[in-house]
Amino acid sequence: MPVRATVLALCTVLLAADVPREPERVAAARLRTGPKLARKLEAAGVPHPRALVLRVFKEERVLEIWAAAEPGGAFVHVSDYPVCASSGGPGPKARQGDGQVPEGLYRITTLNPWSQFHLSMQIDYPNAADRARNLGASLKELGGQIFVHGNCVTIGCIPIGDDAIEEVYLAALETRTGGGEIAALLLPARPGTRRWSLLLDAGGLTDVELWRSLSNISKQFDATRRLPTVRSTARGAYLVD
């Protein structure tokens, strides 16, 4: 082989070695589920999302995925996925081991392609609102490690099954790779339903204050298709700026 061709071949090998390989489960998901997700995103008009919102209604056991074509842009609904197992009941998570699914406005912080539940995405519980509602409790006491994940078992997480998590994970990965962020809005039930009214009638003052603030966020999101900027209150609810 001529010297120049040998050098070019060697450079090609070295460059290929420098490119990190995609984790096996993600690569397999891309082959198996990627085309289906691509069709959904294309149909929604957002082939390459740059922001995502995952909205979860605990009572209805559904996770919605919304995507925006650019940061700060309008979100469009992409798909719904059943939450296939649940634990706890209405009300936010407050302590390690209480089995509660958090309620609040969170961010997806970590994508885990090696999860024991196929693929998973971690939310940033406890956030400032959670800490404000539980003054004096340490981060260890508040618990953590809350994920949206595959499989259909849970103690405080949000499982949606392996097929669904592949779609949501790939959408999140596309968003994160493009420099975008993923928000997660978790509510005890869908505002405006009979179950929502029953919760407000039976809930304690702190829970009801949190729920009303989450309803305000969700309603503004529905009206504007944009996620409002919020801050937490001293009582652990949310104020829309």
How many helices and strands (H and E) does the chain possess?
8, 10
- Domain extents for the chain? 22-240
Query: Does residue 18 surpass a pLDDT of 80?
Result: no
In order of 7, 8, 9, 11, 15, the CA distances from 1 in angstroms are: 10, 11, 10, 15, 20
Q: Which CATH number fits domain 22-240: 2.40.440.10, 3.40.640.10, 3.90.1150.10, 2.40.50.100?
A: 2.40.440.10
Task: Fill in the amino acid letter for 120.
Answer: S
Q: Report pTM.
A: 0.90
**Structure confidence at residue 60 (pLDDT):** 97
* Structural element, H or E, at residue 78: strand 75-82
**Closest to 148 measured CA to CA, from 97, 108, 201:** 108
Give the span between the Cα atoms of 102 and 92, in whole angstroms: 5
**Any idea what DSSP says for residue 23?**
P
Locus of tokens 């149909």: 43
Give the residue among 164, 177, 155, 82 at the shortest CA–CA distance from 120: 164
Alpha carbons 13 and 19: distance in angstroms, whole number: 10
Kindly provide the b/e burial profile for residues 90-104, where b requires at least 16 CB atoms within 10 angstroms of the residue's own CB: bbbbbeeeeebbbbb
Residue range 104-116, pLDDT digits in tens: 999 999 999 999 9
CA-CA-CA-CA torsion for 126, 129, 135, 137, nearest 10 degrees? -10
Strand partners, 123: 108
| pLDDT score at 241 | 86
Q: How confident is the model over 30-51, as pLDDT tens digits?
A: 999 999 999 999 999 999 999 9
Instruction: Name the band, by pLDDT with cuts 50, 70 and 90, for residue 185.
Output: very high
Q: Mean pLDDT for the chain?
A: 92
Vertex 25 angle, CA 22 and 26, to 5°: 50
pLDDT at 5 over 60: no
pLDDT for position 4: 52
Asked whether 207 and 91 are in contact (CB, 8 A), the reply is yes
- The residue that leads in pLDDT, 4 or 109, is 109
